[in-house]
Amino acid sequence: MLVLVSCDDKKTNEKAVEPATAWEEIQEGFDKTAGASGYEVEFKTKSKSTFGEYSSEDSATYNISLYGIGTDSFRASAVTNNSETLTKKSYYFEADKFYVADIEGEKNTTPYLYVSDDVDALKEVTGLNVFKINTEAVKTALESSKSVVEGEEGDCKYIKFAMTSQNAVDILGDSYQIYNDMKDFDGYMFFYTNSEGYLVKFGYDSNYAETYEGEKTAVELSVEYNFMNINKATEIAAPGWVTKLAPEEIDTVYYIKDKVRYSFLYEPSENSSGYGYKLYWIESMVDKDKVVEYAQIPEEINGIKVVDISRTAFSFGKGVKVLVLPQTISYVAYPAEGVEMTVFSKCEEFTENVPEGVKAYTAQEWDFIDGVPTVKK
């Protein structure tokens, strides 16, 4: 159950405020909620696109619960609902992994598993972790804003300031879409704190507009995060659709480590009896168009062994320069064209010929030195 913050729509005592004073108020509430052990979030977004007499609208509401933030006991759950696409999704997070599934009727379908060294529930669900926005950019935007006001709304105090489209990009990063071909922009950002000093609401409104051949084009966007039950969140148990999930029911498993993403499917092993995970794709999360400098395929994922690699896992992508193979895999996949690949295997010998142009070493020929795979002298 979500208990809404005690802010209402009746704004009072609104007045201009100095940027430095506004920043102090924002920072205090921001830091206090950022340090909370848990909370519930209601995320709402509305958009409207207009071209002449034609227009379309879209809205979405997401509910997220987070518990044990920053600890090994971290748990989170979320449900998303988009009005235009009529899609619903269910999420369940733990400290080192999370599950995502589509909701169809009363059932969760097409589940995915993500095993990651950087689980960020708020960003994964909404596209932005509010507490990782560029706060220096907020301070800069306040100092250059044409309007900075403070006011009261119910039991809450708020700071609202006008911003430019560049301010929005600097503060929000990739989560904010800019329309460079529309020159007219109007936008503002707001921060609300409650009587206990916690940030309880954050959001922004922006409006792009331009006239083409006498027809007005506009894109309006409204985004709002409401934080509730701060430091009062209860422990979150794994839902039934996760606890009952068999490996063969998971559509795809994504393993994410050191900004590299690996994609696996659960399939019969080529070289042994039984089933396991097979690697089909690998890519850099920093830049998908660049070669992966270093990759280490795990021995197992979520208790299930990694047993195979698609022969084209690297050649169909941008490739890998340095690759560490687990003991469970005794052959080397083809390298990407034009990429010199060096492979360090934990197996005693290869069961297939190493592809041409690949330098490959078996377990007795190399070792980790200060975390770096190094050929023995």
Average pLDDT of the segment spanning 140-166:
96
Average pLDDT of the segment spanning 120-141:
97
Going from N- to C-terminal start, the domains of the chain cover 11-228, 246-375
Residue 255 has pLDDT above 60, yes or no: yes
**pLDDT-based confidence at 253, cuts 50/70/90?**
very high
What per-residue confidence (pLDDT) applies to 4? 46
The string of pLDDT tens digits covering residues 342-364 is 999 999 999 999 999 999 999 99
- Match domain 11-228 to its CATH number in 2.40.128, 2.50.20, 2.60.40, 2.40.50: 2.50.20
CA angle 126, 42, 143 (to 5 degrees): 70
DSSP state, residue 121: H
Q: How far apart are the C-alpha atoms of 298 and 319, rounded to whole Å?
A: 18
The string of pLDDT tens digits covering residues 175-196 is 998 887 788 999 999 999 999 9
% of the chain surpassing 90 pLDDT: 83
Q: Which of 216, 210, 202, 228 is nearest to 45 (CA)?
A: 202
Q: What share of the chain is helix, strand, coil (3-state, %, to 5)?
A: 15, 45, 40
Q: Which residues of 257-288 are buried (b: 16+ CB within 10 A; e: fewer)?
A: beebbbbbbbeeeeeeeeebbbbbbbbbeeee
Average pLDDT of the segment spanning 232-242:
93
Residue pair 80/88 in contact (Cβ under 8 Å)? The answer is: yes
Mean pLDDT of the chain: 93
Residue 172 has pLDDT above 90, yes or no: yes
